[in-house]
Chains A and B, each alone.
Chain A
Amino acid sequence: MSVASEIHKLRKRYPDPTSAVLPALRLAQEEHDGWLPPEALREVADALEVTPAYCLSIASFYDQFRLEPVGRTLVEVCTNVSCALAGAQRVLEAFERELGVQAGSTSADGRTTLGTVECLGGCGWATVVAIDNRHRLRVTADDVSGIVEELRA
Chain B
Amino acid sequence: MPEHPQIVFAGTNGGELTRIEDYEAVGGFAALWRARAMAPDDVIAELETSGLRGRGGAFFPTGRKWAFVPKPDQLPKPHYLVVNADESEPGSFKDREIMLRVPFRFLEGCLIAAHGIQSQHVFVYIRGEYEREFEVLRDSLEAMRKAGLLGDVTVVVHRGAGAYICGEETALLESLEGKRGQPRTKPPFPAIAGLYAAPTAVNNVESITTATCVLGLGGAEYAKLGVENSTGTRVFSLSGDVVNPGNYELPHGITLRELIYDIGGGVPGGRELKAVIPGGSSTSVLTAADIDVKMDFTSLIEAGSSIGSAGVIVIDDRCCMVQLGIRVSQFYEHESCGKCTPCRVGTRWMTQILQKIEDGRGSQVDLDLLLSVCDRIMGKCLCPLGDSDAIAVLSYVARFRDEYQAHIDLGRCPFDGESSLAGILAPSAMHERHGHETVHV
Contact A80 B331 (CB under 8 A): yes
Residues in A with CB closer than 8 Å to B127 are: 121
**Known contacts being A79-B427, A123-B92, A123-B237, is A15 close to B196, with CB within 8 Å?**
yes
Interface residues of B in 288-339 (CB under 8 A from A): 311, 313, 315, 319, 324, 327-328, 331, 334-335, 337
Contact B319 A85 (CB under 8 A): yes
Q: A20-B178, A119-B89, A122-B93 are in contact. Are A26 and B129 (CB under 8 A)?
A: no
B226 within 8 A of A: no
> Which residue of the partner chain, among B92, B161, B238, B313, contacts A62 with CB atoms under 8 Å?
B161
Q: How far is the CB of A113 from chain B (nearest CB, A)?
A: 12
A146 within 8 A of B: no
Report the minimal beta-carbon distance from B142 to chain A, rounded to whole angstroms. 14
| Inter-chain contact A19/B237, CB cutoff 8 Å | no
In the bound complex, do residue A126 and residue B245 qualify as a contact, i.e. CB atoms below 8 Å apart?
A: yes
Looking across the interface, which residue of chain B has its beta carbon closest to that of A61? B180
Q: Which of B127-185 contact A (CB under 8 A)?
A: 127-132, 156, 158-164, 175-181
Chain B minimum-CB-distance residue to A82: B239
Interface size class of B (residues with CB under 8 A): 35 or more
Stretch in B4-12, B50-58, B428-436 touching the partner: B428-436
List A contacts of B334 (CB < 8 A): 118
A29 to B109, CA, bound (A): 33
Q: Which one of A62, A88, A103, A124 lies within 8 Å of B162 (CB-CB)?
A: A62
Residues 120-141 of A, flagged 1 when their CB comes within 8 A of B and 0 if not, give 1111111000100111000000
Q: Is the CB of A121 within 8 A of B423?
A: no
How close is A44's CB to chain B, nearest CB, in angstroms? 11
Are B180 and A58 within 8 A (Cβ)?
yes
Do residues A116 and B159 form an inter-chain contact, with CB atoms below 8 A? no
One digit per residue, 1 when the CB lies within 8 angstroms of any chain B CB and 0 when it does not, for chain A 75-107 equals: 000011110111011001000000000011100
Given contacts A64-B162, A80-B90, whether A22 and B245 have CB atoms under 8 Å apart is: no
Interface status of B48 (Cβ within 8 A of chain A): no
Pick the residue among B158, B162, B277 that contacts A23 (CB under 8 A).
Answer: B158
Does any Cβ of B come within 8 Å of A109's Cβ? no
Judge whether A121 and B161 touch: CB under 8 Å. no
Provide the bound-state CA to CA distance between A78 and B422, in Å: 15
Q: Is the CB of A64 within 8 A of B196?
A: no
Could you count the A-B residue pairs with CB atoms below 8 Å apart for me: how many are there?
169
Asked if A134 and B131 make an inter-chain contact with CB atoms under 8 angstroms apart, the answer reads yes
- Which residues of B395-432 are within 8 A (CB) of A? 420-427, 430-431
CB pair B89 A58 closer than 8 Å? no
Given A22-B175, A64-B129, do A123 and B313 touch, yes or no (CB 8 Å)?
yes
B423 to chain A, nearest CB (A): 5
* Contact flags A33-55 to B (C-beta < 8 A → 1, else 0): 00000000000000010000000
Q: Is B87 part of the binding interface, using a Cβ–Cβ cutoff of 8 Å?
A: yes
Residue A16 at the chain B interface, CB threshold 8 Å:
yes
Nearest-Cβ distance from residue A85 to partner chain B, whole angstroms: 5
Check A85 against B421 for contact (C-beta < 8 Å). yes
Q: Is the CB of B88 closer than 8 A to any CB of chain A?
A: yes
B61 within 8 A of A: no
**In the complex, are the beta carbons of A13 and B315 less than 8 A apart?**
no
Q: Beta-carbon contacts of B196-234 to A below 8 Å, as 1s and 0s? A: 100000000000000000000000000000000000000
Taking the nearest CB of chain B, how far is it from the CB of A30, in angstroms?
12
Q: Say if the beta carbon of B281 comes within 8 Å of chain A.
A: yes
Given contacts A84-B421, A123-B90, contact A116 B160 (CB under 8 A): no
Once the chains bind, are A64 and B88 in contact (CB under 8 Å)? no
User: Could you say which residues of chain B place their CB within 8 Å of the CB of A134?
Assistant: 131-132
Minimal beta-carbon separation of B350 from chain A (angstroms): 16
Q: Which residues from A are CB-within-8-Å of B315?
A: 85
| Further pairs besides A48-B178, A64-B162, A80-B331: 12, Cβ < 8 Å | A16-B177, A21-B178, A26-B159, A62-B162, A63-B427, A82-B91, A85-B313, A89-B422, A105-B434, A119-B88, A121-B88, A123-B313
A-B contact pairs, 20 of them (CB 8 A): A18-B178, A18-B179, A19-B178, A21-B178, A64-B161, A79-B424, A81-B91, A81-B277, A81-B327, A82-B240, A82-B313, A84-B327, A85-B240, A104-B433, A115-B430, A116-B430, A118-B427, A123-B240, A124-B245, A130-B129
